[in-house]
Amino acid sequence: MQLRSRDALDEYIRLYSKEVDAQKKKVLICAGTGCVAGGSLGIYDRIISLVKEKGVDCVVELADEKNGSQLHEASIGVKRSGCHGFCEMGPLVRIEPGGFLYTKVKLEDCEEIVEKTVLGDEFIDRLAYKQNGVIYKQQEEIPFYKMQQRVVLEHCGHIDATSIKEYLAIGGYRAVEKALFDMKPQEILDEMVESNLRGRGGGGFPLGKKWVQVARQSEPVKYVVCNGDEGDPGAFMDRSIMEGDPHRLLEGMIIGGIATGAHDGYIYVRAEYPLAVSRLRNAIKEAEEAGLLGDNILGTDFCFKMHINRGAGAFVCGEGSALTASIEGKRGMPRVKPPRTVEKGLFEKPTVLNNVETFANVPQIILKGAKWYKSIGPENSPGTKAFALTGNINNTGLIEVPMGTTLREIIFDVGGGIRGGKQFKAVQIGGPSGGCLVTDDLDIKLDFDSLKKVGAMIGSGGLVVMDESSCMVEVARFFMNFTQNESCGKCVPCREGTKRMLEILERIVAGNGRDGDIELLLELADTITSTALCGLGKSAASPVVSTIKNFRSEYEAHIKDKKCPAGNCKKLVVYSIDPALCKGCSRCVKACPVGAISGEVRNPFVIDSSKCIKCGACFTSCHFKAVKEG
- Asked if pLDDT for residue 312 goes beyond 80, the answer is yes
How do 627-629 and 23-30 pair as beta strands? unpaired
Reported as a pLDDT band with limits 50, 70 and 90, residue 2 is confident
- At 155-170, the pLDDT tens digits run 999 999 999 999 999 9
- Asked if pLDDT for residue 260 goes beyond 80, the answer is yes
Is the CB of residue 355 less than 8 Å from the CB of residue 249? Answer: no
**Which residue has better confidence, 66 or 92?**
92
Average pLDDT, the chain: 94
Is the CB of residue 386 less than 8 Å from the CB of residue 357? Answer: yes
Task: Give the pLDDT confidence score for residue 71 in this predicted structure.
Answer: 60
Let me know whether 234 and 268 are in one domain. Answer: yes
Task: Give the pLDDT confidence score for residue 574 in this predicted structure.
Answer: 87
Task: Give the pLDDT confidence score for residue 568 in this predicted structure.
Answer: 86
Let me know whether 226 and 340 are in one domain. Answer: yes
What's the CA gap between 590 and 612, in Å, rounded?
14
Let me know whether 263 and 354 are in one domain. Answer: yes
Can you tell me the mean pLDDT for 413-428?
94
Let me know whether 315 and 428 are in one domain. Answer: no
**Which residue has better confidence, 456 or 65?**
456
Let me know whether 133 and 245 are in one domain. Answer: no
- Asked if pLDDT for residue 67 goes beyond 70, the answer is no
Task: Give the pLDDT confidence score for residue 354 in this predicted structure.
Answer: 97
In this structure, what CATH number is given to the domain that contains residue 221?
Answer: 3.40.50.11540
Among candidate residues 329, 354, 374, the one where a domain is terminated: 374
Can you tell me the mean pLDDT for 334-338?
90
**Secondary structure class of 25 (helix, strand, coil):** strand
Task: Give the pLDDT confidence score for residue 68 in this predicted structure.
Answer: 45
Is the CB of residue 371 less than 8 Å from the CB of residue 251? Answer: no
- At 426-470, the pLDDT tens digits run 999 988 888 899 999 999 999 999 988 888 888 878 899 999 999
Let me know whether 127 and 196 are in one domain. Answer: no
- At 184-243, the pLDDT tens digits run 999 999 999 999 999 998 779 999 999 999 999 999 999 999 999 988 887 899 999 999
Let me know whether 344 and 396 are in one domain. Answer: no
- Is 178 part of any domain? no
Whole-Å CA distances, 187 to 225, 299, 567: 21, 21, 59
Can you tell me the mean pLDDT for 138-153?
95
- Is 177 part of any domain? no
Task: Give the pLDDT confidence score for residue 553 in this predicted structure.
Answer: 96
Domain carrying residue 485: 472-561
Can you tell me the mean pLDDT for 387-403?
95
In this structure, what CATH number is given to the domain that contains residue 504?
Answer: 1.20.1440.230
- Asked if pLDDT for residue 54 goes beyond 80, the answer is yes
Percent of the chain with pLDDT over 90: 85
In the chain, the number of structural domains is 5
Instruction: Please provide the DSSP assignment of 380-425 as one string.
Output: TS-SEEEEEEEESBSS-EEEEEETT-BHHIIIIIIS-SBGGGPPEE
Query: Would you mind telling me the total number of residues written for the chain in this entry?
Result: 630
Let me know whether 105 and 230 are in one domain. Answer: no
Among candidate residues 417, 436, 467, the one where a domain is terminated: 467
Is the CB of residue 430 less than 8 Å from the CB of residue 202? Answer: yes
Let me know whether 297 and 404 are in one domain. Answer: no
Reported as a pLDDT band with limits 50, 70 and 90, residue 1 is confident
Q: If we measure between CA atoms, which residue out of 204, 253, 242, 250 comes closest to residue 352?
A: 253
- Asked if pLDDT for residue 483 goes beyond 50, the answer is yes
Q: Please state whether the predicted TM-score (pTM) of the whole model is above 0.85.
A: yes
Let me know whether 463 and 476 are in one domain. Answer: no
- Is 172 part of any domain? no
Asked which of 382-391, 568-577, 587-596 is least confident by mean pLDDT, the reply is 568-577
Asked which of 25-34, 106-115, 122-131, 569-578 is least confident by mean pLDDT, the reply is 569-578
Among candidate residues 374, 400, 429, the one where a domain is terminated: 374
Asked which of 31-40, 71-80, 288-297 is least confident by mean pLDDT, the reply is 71-80
Buried b (16+ CB within 10 A) or exposed e, 187-214: ebbbbbbebbbbbbbbebeebbebbbbb
Is the CB of residue 457 less than 8 Å from the CB of residue 430? Answer: yes
Task: Give the pLDDT confidence score for residue 179 in this predicted structure.
Answer: 98
In this structure, what CATH number is given to the domain that contains residue 590?
Answer: 3.30.70.20
Q: If we measure between CA atoms, which residue out of 310, 342, 110 comes closest to residue 219?
A: 342
Let me know whether 439 and 488 are in one domain. Answer: no
In this structure, what CATH number is given to the domain that contains residue 101?
Answer: 3.40.30.10
Let me know whether 603 and 554 are in one domain. Answer: no
E strands, 173-287, in order: 223-228, 264-270
In this structure, what CATH number is given to the domain that contains residue 393?
Answer: 3.10.20.600
**Secondary structure class of 284 (helix, strand, coil):** helix
Task: Give the pLDDT confidence score for residue 435 in this predicted structure.
Answer: 86
**Secondary structure class of 294 (helix, strand, coil):** strand
Can you tell me the mean pLDDT for 117-135?
94
